[in-house]
Amino acid sequence: MPTIQLDRLVKRYGNVEVLHGINLDMDDNEFTVFVGPSGCGKSTTLRMIAGLEDVSDGEIYVDGKPVSHLEPKDRDLAMVFQDYALYPHMNVARNMSFALRLAKRPADEIDRKVRDVAEILGLTDYLHRRPGELSGGQRQRVAMGRAMVRDTGIFLLDEPLSNLDAKLRARMRTELAEMRARINKNFIYVTHDQVEAMTLGDRIVVMSGGHIQQQGSPEELFTNPVNQFVAGFIGSPAMNFLDGDLVEENGVLIVQGDGYSLPMPAESAARIGKVAGRRAVRLGMRPSSVFADPAVGAPIELEIVVAEYLGAQSVLVTRCGQTEVLVEVPSTARLQAGTSHRFGVRTEEIMIFDGQSGHRL
């Protein structure tokens, strides 16, 4: 399997720079996910790797060799687009074998590859159907199969599930995760959906505004985000942010703001260091770090505005001063909207960000 390296990759459209020097090393046999809000440059990066867009500056290396001067067909890759189109008059087998027939591969080889890939994708029984006789999910799989039969080392996918409804999306996500365990290829997968990124990626690259904000394993990004953007983007329901100040009282570091005051555990205090006077910060607190039982951690009084029952869990929309705070609790906690409740915050899980730059302290 090839390794892929992006070296200070820049993209300009006319005078407008949309990618500002992307550096990335992708390992062998790795599933890399680019995730970020719409317009942050995910597709542009992918299309440059595929050779569908010129590189304005920097270089792309595959197995250590520069490839940006190569035609798409001379790069060892296959791509599945957001708006895949199948040939409506061809059956599944012919749709999947199209590129191989174009390349004039021997018939027995084509037949074998189509059967192998159909097996992996669960399409064996559908090879003679036309796209019109398939469900949305099956058509999606045919589009994937069409790329997979080409036997390339790198597999690029640009939001392949975005045209599916929520339920099918969730199923395809699971299928993809399962399928990927059986295929030894480099995947680069683009999505704006952080759940998709978290479930599929070995490595997640979080982008915003044409920059890489952070890259790492799903767990690294969740537990150790470098800034407020990543902290707010990864995790569902999203992290709560409250304006506040850091102050030191009798050697204890305290973060306090409108309606709350929480002592920082010694470990975080040591990392943040001495605070002279007050320092404006933003407190980051995940909905899962707040507990109905105040004894779990430091107490915080929250006014419950709405209780959304989701089955085993309930999401409480609460208010702390003027700020909305989401709290995730087991539904057995039976907390009522319209009441105030003393919750417990696991302070070792809260994060402090610089009030100006958003960098994590």
Query: In angstroms, rounded to a whole number, what is the distance separating the alpha carbons of residues 275 and 4?
Result: 43
Q: How far is the CB of 87 from Mg ion (least distance, A)?
A: 24
Cβ–Cβ < 8 Å for 45, 5: no
Using CB under 6 A as the criterion, which residues of the chain lie in contact with ligand ADP when the complex forms? 13, 18, 36, 38-44
Terminal Cα distance for the chain, rounded: 39
Q: Which is nearer to Mg ion, 96 or 157 (CB)?
A: 157
Q: How far is the CB of 33 from ligand ADP (least distance, A)?
A: 13
Indicate whether 214 belongs to the interface with Mg ion (CB under 5 A).
Answer: no
Q: How far is the CB of 52 from Mg ion (least distance, A)?
A: 12
Q: How far is the CB of 14 from Mg ion (least distance, A)?
A: 19
Q: How far is the CB of 205 from ligand ADP (least distance, A)?
A: 12
Residue (of 186, 295, 188, 283) closest to 244 by Cα position: 283
Q: Which is nearer to ligand ADP, 12 or 278 (CB)?
A: 12
Q: Which is nearer to Mg ion, 213 or 240 (CB)?
A: 213
Q: How far is the CB of 136 from ligand ADP (least distance, A)?
A: 22
Q: How far is the CB of 210 from ligand ADP (least distance, A)?
A: 7
Q: How far is the CB of 156 from ligand ADP (least distance, A)?
A: 13
Q: Which is nearer to Mg ion, 43 or 314 (CB)?
A: 43
Partner in contact with 215, chosen from Mg ion, ligand ADP, none, beta carbon below 5 to 8 Å by kind: none
Number of residues that bind Mg ion (CB under 5 A): 1
Query: In angstroms, rounded to a whole number, what is the distance separating the alpha carbons of residues 197 and 175?
Result: 14
Indicate whether 240 belongs to the interface with Mg ion (CB under 5 A).
Answer: no
Q: How far is the CB of 78 from Mg ion (least distance, A)?
A: 18
Q: Which residue is nearest to Mg ion (CB)?
A: 43
Q: Which is nearer to ligand ADP, 16 or 295 (CB)?
A: 16
Partner in contact with 39, chosen from ligand ADP, Mg ion, none, beta carbon below 5 to 8 Å by kind: ligand ADP
Query: In angstroms, rounded to a whole number, what is the distance separating the alpha carbons of residues 213 and 20?
Result: 12
Residues numbered 127-146 forming contacts with Mg ion, rule: CB under 5 A:
none
* Secondary structure in 3-state letters for the chain: CCCEEEEEEEEEECCEEEEEEEEEEECCCCEEEEECCCCCCHHHHHHHHHCCCCCCEEEEEECCEECCCCCHHHCCEEEECCCCCCCCCCCHHHHHHHHHHHCCCCHHHHHHHHHHHHHHHCCHHHCCCCHHHCCHHHHHHHHHHHHHCCCCCEEEEECCCCCCCHHHHHHHHHHHHHHHCCCCCEEEEEECCHHHHHHHCCEEEEEECCEEEEEECHHHHHHCCCEHHHHHHCCCCCCEEEEEEEEEECCEEEEEECCEEEECCHHHHHHHCCCCCCEEEEEEECHHHEECCHHHCEEEEEEEEEEEECCCEEEEEEEECCEEEEEEEEHHHCCCCCCEEEEEECHHHCEEEECCCCEEC
Q: Which is nearer to Mg ion, 9 or 325 (CB)?
A: 9
Q: Which is nearer to Mg ion, 43 or 140 (CB)?
A: 43
Q: Which is nearer to ligand ADP, 213 or 289 (CB)?
A: 213
Partner in contact with 18, chosen from ligand ADP, Mg ion, none, beta carbon below 5 to 8 Å by kind: ligand ADP
In the shown chain, the binding pattern of residues 14 to 53 toward Mg ion, with x for contact by CB under 5 A and - for none, equals -----------------------------x----------
Q: Which is nearer to ligand ADP, 39 or 66 (CB)?
A: 39
The phi and psi torsions of 347 (rounded to 5 degrees) equal -70, -20
Partner in contact with 197, chosen from Mg ion, ligand ADP, none, beta carbon below 5 to 8 Å by kind: none
- The residue ranges that bind Mg ion (CB under 5 A) are 43
